[in-house]
Chain A
Amino acid sequence: MYDLGIIGAGPAGYVAAERAAAKGLSVVLFDKRELGGVCLNEGCIPTKTLLYTAKLYENALNGKKYGIVAENVSFDFGKIMARKNKIVRKLVGGIGAKMKKFGVEVVKGAASMEKRNTDGTIDIHCSEKTFTCKNVLVCTGSEAFIPPVPGLDKAEILTNREILELKELPKTLTIIGGGVIGVEFANFFCALGTKVTVIEMLPEILPGIDKDLSEMLRKDLEKRDITFNLSAKVTKVEGQTVTFEKDGKEHQVQHEKLLVSVGRRAVTHGFGLDKMGVEVLKTGIKIDSTCRTNIPNIYAAGDVTGFSLLAHTASREGEVVVNNLTGRKDRMRYSAIPAVVYTNPEVSCVGLTEEAAKAKGIEYNIRNLPMAYAGRWLAENEGGSGFMKILTGKKHNEILGVHAIGNPSSEFIYGAAMAIELELRLQDMEEVVFPHPTVSEIFKETVFAFQE
């Protein structure tokens, strides 16, 4: 008998397992693949490894901006991919060691909830064994969604999984879907010299991100020769040709490789949700603010819930579940979850966007400040562009949203998340001391910009 059975060992599952075991619960963790889930094996970590390589290469090529002369700069695609694999292996091994240290029983295989016992416990079958659990956390994640475009089913396509296994750099790459995944891969392959074309159905890339930031990033990437086809609908895929409709006209683009990244869909089949009577919406498993499903001892966390498809959301959801199971009242709050696009330059956001504030009818004040106001950024981003945008509530001047484009905004956006969580006001932020010189000072500068 286990206190907690966890199906899925991604950032929701392995974090919850570690936290629960540390608090003395007996935990069994199931996954049919490697520990770490999509995030670690075919998402966050491998892509960031690649993007850093791309940045290094770009910097080497553009060294003359900084007075550095580097000649015959080249790369070895095989070694780039090998380093990525090494990083992933190391981190997967690290999770395994952690699970061992905390006494979490890890079972490899497809797990399924088979039976609810009279005392409410749930029997999970995996690898021809039965594990009886008092509570179950379902965190089976999401998978790439393949849209019903004619010919796409027969075409040779890549998703985020396969594209990470390429042995050779493609000469041309077409990406259907200009969301975070599509744009990050576009950035990477473009940096290494692939001719990249992005086809996006909406009028701007990166839905959900502040429009001013998306636009600046897109223009920056366009300068580096990525072609963006916005408000464009793919109508047909045939061989190495994608046909799309834009402005009422038909266009065609040739490719060596095709990446489909139009979105992700919760994985809700194959592990007994129906047998248990768990309510599943179109988008994913329905949960309350404590991540509980309609069945009292079944919880869900991460992408399988179908919204806020982010690893850090998943981990926090897993922690909320464990806290409530171990007697600490806790709830999910989605108002201050940072989101980052790890392109060069990085786009980092937390809180309300201007569009969302308008849609919700929230009265706000807003200030924009170029990144160049932070001396450190100027020193390190020759010829670059970037800015920060802050939204505050009109009544109390509390920070509602912070949006930045510029390196390395991903490293200090958490400070804005804390400010939003604590509803800090401009006058509170003014009293916070920032280290000088850092790029983070742009946050403080923009706060003071409200005085003007």
Chain B
Amino acid sequence: MATPVIMPRQGQSVETCIITEWNKQTGDTIAKGDVICAYETDKASFEIEAEEDGTLLAVFFEDGDEVPVLENIAVIGAEGDDVEQFRPGSAQAEAPEAAPAEEKPAAPKATSETEPPAAAPAPTADRDSDSVRISPRARNKASRKGVAHEAVQGTGPKGRVIERDIDKAIESGQQRTAAAAEISTPQANEVEGTGLGGRITSSDVASGNTVYSNDSEVKKLSNIRKIIAKRMHESLQNSAQLTHHMSADVRRLMDARKAVKAKMAEENGPNITLNDMVCFATIKALKKFPDANSHFLGTEMRVFNKIHLGLAVDTPRGLMVPALKNADDLSLAGLSNQLKALADSCRQGNVDPALLESTAASFTVSNLGAYGVEMFTPVINLPQAAILGVNTIINRPADVGNGVFGFVPYIGLSLTYDHRALDGGPATLFLREIKEQIENFNETI
């Protein structure tokens, strides 16, 4: 008996997921526990494992497709099992919904047992003529490119016309002149046609009067990229942020780091990094300046009495900022361990999505020091009131006592704060407190 593979629901707010890669193809033999495909939400990526043995009989979506949760995406079963009943949008699969609309005589059904099941979803002729199913994206593109979408065969669920169907229609040459088709590239679809009836001409493709020629490629944004774009833009638009820069003498931190290394060599001690120490110092400073450990909510502020430390992590999919809950409860070693674990889970794509919410953290640290950045203006993760940017260490001349000047290593600290929540005075005092915590670092390693 064939069983469908369902797109799981990841959290209450997730309505669709994007299939990133199929690990198995139609016809492959599947063993329970095999990874069938990978998919991502806007926050993380996941894998779907087979829940039973069998053959992958059908795959209903392609890489890059955005699929509603709980939708059938594939079928596993024995060779010869009927898969059509599981096809998204098929009458059987959605019987209660589809039945009332079915007004056609049942004649085709009577013979359906002897006929092969329809390979494609409802053909054009069967569609309700005055409400052609088409996605908004596809409709938009069709109208922009002058494609008669009514004539396009939809390949989406329920025979819906989706963007790639329009792309295909364009690619098949409908909208290009003969000479343009000869030199077309997929990205030429983005070119504005200046020819007869909006056709793309060879000069449009070759550059002509368009902004883009075939010197670039249009890539779709991943969900995570869209989220980052939206949040960062909103942050700059909706707050009054500015950045103060200050440096802290890190001789004590570097001594501590030396001790860590020695201990690692001797007895396998934890690898506590400079960043861990700066975070530890920052947590201590936050304890003294609770207003910086807050969310600014327009007409009120949520001031936290616990510290949930957000850490900006660079991952192959883009920036992620997971929160380490109750970071103020942790020892230096504990903090180090947990930050590491959190960063790893982000890079592997299995972090708990709830920790990625911008409201999960009360304050964020972003460290670009390892890349040699000397100064930057981090962008606040709203509604948090501030974010600390940590820069590289620079040796600077300083009075080392008794009028003697020498080179002292300083670490750059860039505090961006929302002026709606904090004034310059307290923000500076808070930054100075971080500096002092670093300079007077005295945790025993």
Contacts and interface: CB of A to CB of B under 8 A. Distances in A.
Q: Is the A/B pair a real complex? A: yes
Interface of A: 329, 331, 333, 393, 396, 398, 421-425, 428
Secondary structure dominating the interface of A:
loop
B202 interface: yes
B174 interface: no
Contacts of A393: 179, 202
A425 B195 contact: no
Greatest chain B CB density within 10 A among A393, A398, A424 is at A398
Given A398-B202, A423-B202, A428 B194 contact: no
Interface in B96-115: none
A396 B182 contact: yes
Given A396-B202, A398-B202, A421 B196 contact: yes
A90 B230 CA distance: 66
A414 to B, nearest CB: 13
Nearest to A393: B179
Contacts of A421: 177, 195-196
Interface residues of B, number: 13
Nearest to A425: B178
A393 B194 CA distance: 19
B194 A423 contact: no
B341 interface: no
Interface of B: 177-180, 182-183, 194-196, 198-199, 201-202
B179 A425 contact: yes
Contacts of A424: 177-179
A423 B183 contact: no
Contacts of A398: 177-179, 202
Given A421-B195, A422-B196, 13 more contacts: A329-B198, A333-B195, A333-B196, A396-B182, A398-B177, A398-B178, A398-B202, A422-B178, A422-B195, A423-B180, A423-B195, A423-B202, A424-B179
Contacts of B202: 393, 396, 398, 423
Contacts of B199: 422
Nearest to A421: B196
B196 to A, nearest CB: 4
Nearest to B201: A423
B319 to A, nearest CB: 39
Contacts of B179: 393, 396, 398, 423-425
A404 to B, nearest CB: 22
Q: Which 9 residue pairs are nearest across A and B when measured between Cβ atoms?
A: A423-B177, A423-B179, A398-B179, A396-B179, A421-B196, A428-B178, A422-B177, A425-B178, A424-B178
23 contacts: A329-B198, A333-B196, A393-B179, A396-B182, A396-B202, A398-B177, A398-B178, A398-B202, A421-B195, A421-B196, A422-B177, A422-B178, A422-B196, A422-B199, A423-B178, A423-B180, A423-B195, A423-B201, A423-B202, A424-B177, A425-B178, A425-B179, A428-B178
B300 to A, nearest CB: 46
Among A396, A398, A423, max chain B CB count under 10 A is at A423
B178 A333 contact: no
Given A423-B177, A424-B178, A428-B178, A396 B198 contact: no
Nearest to B198: A329
Given A396-B202, A423-B177, A423-B202, A331 B194 contact: yes
B315 to A, nearest CB: 42
Nearest to B180: A423
Contacts of A425: 178-179, 182
